Amino acid sequence: MPVRSLTPREVAELQTRSPQSVTILDVREPWEVERVRLPDSLHIPMDELREHLGELNPEQTYVVLCHHGNRSQQVAAFMQAQGFRDVINLAGGIEDWAASLDPGMARY
């Protein structure tokens, strides 16, 4: 099954509708998160996800983000293959989030 992708605006609307049921999973490197991060996001670098997978709830909705949406797409597909039911890729990543929703956000 293909990974569902949502735009930053669609993710923001989803968070507004169901704030408790959506977890933003940031899979960028630590240096990237130091520069900019979304509030209340869960940070697990892509390379460390396999060892932390057991800490995540397969029934939870996860929106996976990276810088531009490529790594997060791979992680979302991996999570789906591991039995996670509702995994969404943030299309365009945090770069598109800054460009379309928060122009004052730091960019790199």
CATH of the domain at 28: 3.40.250.10
Residue 106, in any domain of the structure: no
Active site residue 3: no
Which amino acid is residue 25, in one-letter code?
Answer: L
Q: Tell me the average pLDDT across 88-105.
A: 97
This prediction's pTM: 0.96
* Residue 100: per-residue pLDDT: 96
Catalytic residue among 11, 38, 44, 66: 66
* Residue 18: per-residue pLDDT: 87
Residue 105, in any domain of the structure: no
The continuous run of DSSP H or E covering 100 comes out as: helix 93-100
Condensed to tens digits (0 to 9), the pLDDT of residues 27-36 reads 999 999 999 9
Domain that includes residue 37, residue range: 4-100
Total count of domains within the chain: 1
% of the chain surpassing 90 pLDDT:
95
For residue 37, give the 3-state DSSP assignment: coil
Q: Which residues touch 22 (CB under 8 Å, ≥6 apart)? A: 11, 14, 15, 61, 62, 63
* Residue 20: per-residue pLDDT: 84
Q: Show the tokens assigned to 38.
A: 């979304």
